[in-house]
Structure 1
């Protein structure tokens, strides 16, 4: 999990859709952005979250004081966040009666309440907590509209609930979109695209952007998946690179291998489970990496390294060079 920005106080990261921000309940929900980051940066602390199905920019603090200062910026609304989403229909037409400013922004005011009987769903309800969102259309088609969104408050599922409340749920939304709208995309079409604030220690303006290739026209975005690699393909690739043998290895859950070396070089690809690999360079500096299905790593001959396997253990293909 490589930060897009790193300094002694802050980390700014890009969270993929489908990954939890923090651990959930149960052993199957422990993999999350926070734990992956903390495997490399043990001092990193959570400041805010994104929904599991939302992608985009997220900031973590390095240490208690940085967390306190950054949290204060969020609480006092000094962090400016912008999202992009693709929603069903044409909200500009259905919301013509709502006034807009010179830049096309309209406001949704709707108190949000947890629907206890259908949790984790939330609804707009007068008994809920005050919530306000701003939105404007960026591009429209006959079936959908790409909108820019700004949450003025920060309630759970706020942007999803507010757009659904005016009749324009987000494409791919498994919670708030009806089945035909949900089926239009393989993921929730909501992305935290920009984040701006004054650095909590230096007061220097910080402005980060993670644009998407989304559109209001089908297929709305390009969601390419890495083709699955076969063992035979990995083997042939490794042999072509000069490795001598290729085999499959499995490690039991929670196995820990302290720092050690091999009399051979290694190239490996994780095919199941998860592990943490700590490598130490010639200067004695170590780095801990989180690895899961599809990740590859190399270890040079006589290179000191340590391995720790997660609660599911891990299986990987390994090529050796004597």
Structure 2
């Protein structure tokens, strides 16, 4: 297992600068009053490909040798990593092969195709995804860029919290969603060196709470096919992300489906920004655990904005 370092993050930041945005940090006096905390929202929904994952994907793609790049890249993803890798591969002019569950949001499939990615569909389970991917990789010989259990990807994701700390001048805590743990791992990688006094929280849906249960048990517990509105958070931790989560995360907090939908709608209504359900989980857990964050300066990473506008979750709730 290759564990990325703080220097790897710094190298990644220089490598990806031409291909990503330094996203803005927004605040809301209404949400500050509601939570009792000073919240600083890092808006990766305004990122290239509308997701933080373009950071890690770009670091992996542009770190390949010309010989490696000629064979292209491949991955399996429910959406944001798929379209982010397709974006990065398109910028380098190399092929990108993506295995996606057939249940992935159409908006994300359309984005992959729009960036030039080639989709192979699979069943919406970890086992189904990995089986189909093995066939695709064998056929193409492409470089596997794992959505999160990849040191290149984690180093790239760590650039987000570096910007956040520099933009805010320091924080008491940072909270981000957790699925496979790529963003949280990058946050741990960066903050453990840059701002070791900053507490790191992960936010997870109750209906896909394998990271929460893993954290409490002290070992990885994986669910194969959880069902939640937060479609980006259905995947389990792996050995590399578990290393960071088990070493550096202060706590993992969970929220119900309705709490996630309510928080998503609140941000849309009050901050006027488009973000996907996975991105609403941190605010949902802050609202549920106000005493944890009261009076503190809290960075909240809004991880993406790829949402199907024809199927907004409150349309049916």
Larger Rg: 1
TM-score class, shorter: under 0.3
Please report the TM-score for the alignment, with normalisation by the length of structure 1: 0.25
Higher helix fraction (1 or 2) = 2
Please report the TM-score for the alignment, with normalisation by the length of structure 2: 0.25
